[in-house]
Chain A
Amino acid sequence: MATFNFELNELPPEAETLRQEVREFLRTELPKLSSEERPRTWGGHNPAFSKKLAARGWIGMTWPKQYGGHERTFLERYVVLEETLAAGAPVSAHWVADRQSGPLLLRFGTEEQRQRFLPPITRGELSFAIGMSEPDSGSDLASIRTRAEKVPGGYKVNGTKIWTSNAHLSDYAISLFRTQVVPDKKHEGLSQFLVDLHHTKGITIRPIYDLAGGHHFNEVHYEDAFVPEEARVGKDGDGWKQVTTELGFERSGPERYLSSIRLVLELINEVGKEPGERAAVLLGRLTAHLNTLRQMSLSVAAMLQAGKSPNLEASVVKDIGTTFEQEIPELVHALIGAEPRLDTGSEFEKTLGYLVQHAPSFSLRGGTREILRGIIARGLGLR
Chain B
Amino acid sequence: MATEMRNLLADTCTRLFTDRVTPALIEAAEKGQWPDSLWQAVEEGGLTLPQIPEQHGGAGGTWDDAHVVLSAAGRFAVPLPIAETMVGAWLLSTAGLDVPMGPITVAPTQAADRLSLRREGAGWKLSGTAGRVPWGRSAKHVVVLAEHSGKPTVARVAGGAAKVEPDTNLALEPRDTLTWSDATVAAAGTADSLQPDSLWLAGAMGRAAQMAGGLEFLLSQSVKYVSERKQFGKPLSAFQAIQQNLALLAGHTAAAGMAAQAAFHAMEKGDAAFEIACAKVRVGEAAGLGAGIAHQAHGAIGFTYEHTLHFVTRRLWSWRAEFGGEGHWAERLGREVAARGAQALWPLLTSR
Contact = CB atoms under 8 A, between A and B. Distances in A.
A269 B342 contact: yes
A320 B254 CA distance: 10
Contacts of B254: 4, 6, 296, 313, 316, 320
Given A377-B244, A383-B243, A282 B345 contact: no
Contacts of B253: 4
A31 interface: no
A94 B345 CA distance: 27
A30 interface: no
Contacts of B343: 265
Interface stretch (A127-135, A171-179, A283-291): A283-291
A377 B223 CA distance: 9
Interface in A181-213: none
B246 A380 contact: yes
B258 A381 contact: no
Interface size class of B (residues with CB under 8 A): 35 or more
A380 B275 contact: no
Contacts of B277: 284, 288
Interface residues of A, number: 54
Interface in A292-346: 292-296, 299, 313, 316, 319-320
Contacts of B242: 382
Contact of A283 (B244, B333, B349, B350): B333
Contact of A4 (B237, B240, B257): B257
Contacts of B252: 320
Nearest to A4: B254
B244 A373 contact: yes
Contacts of A272: 338
Contacts of B28: none
Interface stretch (A38-46, A222-230, A235-243, A273-281): A273-281
Given A284-B277, A288-B330, A279 B338 contact: yes
A130 to B, nearest CB: 25
A376 interface: yes
Contacts of A316: 250-251, 254
B230 interface: no
Contacts of A282: 330, 334
B339 interface: yes
Nearest to A7: B3
B41 interface: no
A59 interface: no
B338 A370 contact: no
A287 B333 contact: yes
Nearest to A268: B342
A266 B341 CA distance: 10
B85 interface: no
Given A4-B257, A283-B333, 18 more contacts: A1-B224, A8-B258, A265-B346, A268-B338, A273-B341, A280-B331, A281-B327, A282-B330, A284-B331, A291-B274, A291-B352, A292-B282, A294-B349, A295-B259, A370-B244, A372-B247, A380-B250, A382-B243
